[in-house]
Amino acid sequence: MSGVDVRGLPEDEQAIVEAVATWVDREVRPRAGDLERAQEYPHALIDQMKEMGVFGLAVPGRWSESAVSTRCFALVTEQLARGWMSLAGAIGGHSVVALMLARYGTPEQQERWLPRMATGEVRAAMALTEPSGGSDLQDIRTRAVRDGSGSDAEYVVDGSKTWITNARHAGLIATLVKTDPQASPRHSGISILLVEPGQVEVSRDLPKLGYRGVESCELSFAGSRVPAGNLLGGEEGQGFAHFMSGLELGRVQVAARAVGVGQAALDDALAYAQQRETFGKPIWEHQSVGNLLADMATKVHASRLLVLDAAAGIDAGRRSDLEAGMAKLFASEACMQVALDAMRIHGAAGYSAELDIERYFRDAPLMIVGEGTNEIQRNVIVRRLVERDRES
């Protein structure tokens, strides 16, 4: 077990991170390669995650017996990703949706879904991206038109979403829709519908480079009917702001995944560099390889500190889009570089599909693209820097 840094957490949260780390070493790392090659949903591991309370970590204590701080949630995410990034992905969108429900849901919506989300009985996905684009979310085309009034009112939904992770196994899909396409500013015409199985067609699983085992799907709405009671918060026009506030946690979660994959790549490279000998000595003693390892360890450590800093901001109730954006940007780029350098250190063995190294290399780019690309993170960071500068 390595890479577990629980300093600063209360004892009970330390125990949770350590228990997950031990489980990852015992149950996940030995079989992640086979599971991902099979490209099947990891039902058994997901069931064990449910038993450990992992799906309830980011659900507030009012509804969850396993609620923890965001710092603890990030460290658990890191441990899951150290074993297999796809497992950390299974709690990513789920946790963002739980947070949005806890912050903005009506009391009825909260009681209906949050207790079952805390146990993992209901797992949630979030559907923002559309075939026409994922960066400019105010330009979404999926349309929801209210039909009827009172308790029988429904939304009639038309449009499509793409790259929606966990969609096939989700009991709830928080879906970004346009309720008023003419609204100005554009974001004031956007709402979130809490879509349940049977209300949308999950039309296709997309083939992908990495992040296998959990599915990323196309969704098709064709006159689909969703009860008006499933409008998050019960008020139209709030969806964009709600998602943006939830994405702070999402970006910390994606950054924590990058730390986990980076740590796994570093661990494997460090072990290999001590076993493999060339020119009569272990390869870490060649300065070029030693320098790579030193830089890799520094990048992973710096990434973890940025993640914990952003998580601490969320725990303190501070607006943390700047810190979350920085953590996501830095940790994902560092992870990609560390995964490549781990492959370099392994020579041909790093290219073998029989070792985990090539999986880290295939999983790393998701963290650069997902939860807002790194180009979008830079836009968020600089906008916030200027705002803060003007405020001071």
- The residues annotated as belonging to the active site are 371
Residue number, 64 or 377, with CB nearest to ligand FAD: 377
Choice from 260, 262, 325, 370 touching ligand FAD (CB under 6 A): 370
Return d(Cα 73, Cα 65) in angstroms, integer: 14
Element containing residue 190 per DSSP (H, E): strand 190-195
Q: How far is the CB of 139 from ligand FAD (least distance, A)?
A: 9
Strands 124-127, 172-178: pairing kind: parallel
375 is a contact residue toward ligand FAD (CB under 6 A): yes
Residue number, 38 or 209, with CB nearest to ligand FAD: 209
Q: For 274, how many CA atoms within 13 A lie in the half-sphere containing its CB? A: 5
Q: How far is the CB of 242 from ligand FAD (least distance, A)?
A: 14
Q: Which of these ranges, 53-61, 121-129, 140-148, 280-288, lies near ligand FAD under the rule CB under 6 A?
A: 121-129
Residues 162 to 221: which contact ligand FAD by CB under 6 A? 163-165, 208, 211, 216
DSSP letter at 169?
Answer: T
* Structure token pair of residue 117: 């989300």
Q: Which of these ranges, 63-71, 263-271, 331-339, 365-373, lies near ligand FAD under the rule CB under 6 A?
A: 365-373
Sequence-distant (≥ 6) Cβ neighbours of residue 290 within 8 angstroms: 284
246 is a contact residue toward ligand FAD (CB under 6 A): no
Question: Contact 77/260 with Cβ under 8 angstroms?
Answer: yes
Strands 281-282, 277-278: pairing kind: antiparallel
Q: How far is the CB of 264 from ligand FAD (least distance, A)?
A: 19
Q: How far is the CB of 201 from ligand FAD (least distance, A)?
A: 17
Residue whose CB is nearest to ligand FAD in the complex, by number: 134
Strand partners, 193: 175, 231
**Number of residues binding to ligand FAD, judged by CB under 6 A:** 23
Q: How far is the CB of 336 from ligand FAD (least distance, A)?
A: 14
Choice from 282, 286, 379, 384 touching ligand FAD (CB under 6 A): 379
171 CB burial (10 A radius; 0-12, 13-18, 19+): middle
Return d(Cα 22, Cα 2) in angstroms, integer: 10
What x/- string results for residues 125 through 164 when contact with ligand FAD is judged by CB under 6 A?
xxxxx---xxx---------------------------xx
Residues 64 to 93: which contact ligand FAD by CB under 6 A? 93
Question: Contact 45/285 with Cβ under 8 angstroms?
Answer: no
Return d(Cα 63, Cα 121) in angstroms, integer: 13
Question: Contact 132/163 with Cβ under 8 angstroms?
Answer: no
Residues 1 to 20: which contact ligand FAD by CB under 6 A? none
DSSP letter at 207?
Answer: P
- Which residues are at the interface with ligand FAD (CB under 6 A)? 93, 125-129, 133-135, 163-165, 208, 211, 216, 366, 369-370, 372-373, 375-376, 379
